A = this chain, B = another copy of it.
């Protein structure tokens, strides 16, 4: 094998034109049975395979999706979404070029530029960091999909029903008899207001559930980690750990904690482990995402996000838009997906015999 065969060579071997080769390759257009056979043989003989680069240039389509990921590590949420998108895209003949931006606006900008230079057919943001970059992507007149965090109203959106998911979590705890339930969220104050969608929904669900059951909302039981995905130092893990240490040492500690992602839940469990307390005997924990949940001890009760489905939906919408099955209408699409409580082993009835503090 020295050089790769081209269509022209296949045509020569088969004694037909390249147009005919193209016709049998994509089987469209009329071709005589005999010609098909000759071309097939020639393809086999020459070990021909299509040059997708040439096809892309000619068709002005690359069959490639550009996927901008906030950061695949340490949060497996992004990995699972990426996997869902990749699998769906593959099955439709598309490849996906991904770009991890580590939560940086500038890197995200560079990602969009790279994708534009490479003429991807659509850009997916999971999740967008900066609205300006989404706008910039929109300028290219290719489909732009925002996953989970709708920073720009006029771009398409794959959303998650955080409110219902979080409600199930808190209701579950209340149903178990818990009345002092702490809430640990992620970085809402430090986010620009347009980006708070996810965080605000989860906190609202928590407050509404307490209120519905006539339980007080105690500000001392609510905390947010400072950093929104300053991932390098795994700070949100450390912060949820520290806040839990504080809670456990307080005069009137909670009997349950609702943590809005599994990573932070890991930090909570570490604190509890060090305090030599048992879960759920001494305190119940509910996480969110269902990423690390199955790897923790005890197995974490958590609100599962349909990560695969989210990724697949993003890819599906993008491809439908590319292929014109959907009108690129004035209205952006909003696709809602649903979170679901998975009860495992980190939640149990509140202890009535003794208080945690005693």
Query: Which among A35-43, A94-102, A250-258 touches the partner chain?
Result: A94-102
Closest to A82 in B: B72
Return chain B residues, CB-CB under 8 Å to A272.
Answer: 297
Say whether A53 contacts B49, CB under 8 Å. Answer: no
CB nearest to A268 among chain B residues: B297
Interface residues in A52-95 by Cβ distance below 8 A to B read 52-54, 56-57, 62, 72-74, 76, 79-80, 82-83, 86-87, 90, 95
A263 within 8 Å of B (CB atoms): yes
A66 to B54, alpha carbons, bound, how many Å?
18
Give the shortest distance, in Å, between A342 (CB) and chain B (any CB).
14
Q: Is the CB of B76 within 8 A of A117?
A: no
CB contacts (< 8 Å) of A87 on chain B: these are: 100
A298 contact from B118, B139, B141, B274, Cβ within 8 A: B274
Q: Name which of A144-152, A186-194, A288-296 contacts chain B.
A: A288-296
A295: chain B residues at CB < 8 Å are 74, 237, 263, 266, 292, 295-296
Chain B contacts of A118 at CB under 8 A? Answer: 52-53, 95
Chain B residue contacts of A95, Cβ below 8 A: 97, 99, 114, 118
* A257–chain B nearest beta-carbon distance, Å: 14
Give bound CA distance, A113 to B52, whole Å: 11
Q: Say whether A270 contacts B292, CB under 8 Å.
A: no
Does A299 count as interface, using CB distance less than 8 angstroms? yes
Q: Is the CB of B80 within 8 A of A73?
A: yes
Chain A: how many interface residues by the 8 Å CB criterion?
55
Scan residues 103-119 of chain A and give those whose CB is less than 8 A from a CB of chain B.
113-114, 116-119
**Which residues of chain B have C-beta atoms less than 8 A from A1's C-beta?**
139-141
Which chain B residues lie closer than 8 Å to A100 at the CB level? Answer: 83, 86-87
Q: Does A234 contact B (CB under 8 A)?
A: yes
Closest to A276 in B: B278
Known: A54-B57, A62-B53, A95-B114. Contact between A294 and B237, CB under 8 A? yes
B53→A296 contact, CB < 8 A = no
Mask: chain A, 166-188; 1 = CB below 8 Å from B; 0 = not: 00000000000000000000000
The answer for the CA separation of A53 and B266 in the assembled complex, in Å, is 45
Instruction: Give the residues in chain B near A53, CB-CB below 8 Å.
Output: 53, 56-57, 62, 118-119
Q: Does A249 contact B (CB under 8 A)?
A: no
Contact residues in B for A12 (Cβ distance below 8 Å):
none
Shortest A314–chain B CB gap in Å is 16
Q: A1-B139, A292-B295 are in contact. List 11 more A-B contacts (CB 8 A).
A: A52-B119, A53-B53, A83-B100, A86-B100, A90-B99, A90-B114, A263-B295, A266-B295, A266-B297, A272-B297, A295-B296
Q: Shortest 5 CB-CB distances between A and B: which pairs?
A: A273-B297, A266-B295, A270-B297, A52-B118, A52-B117
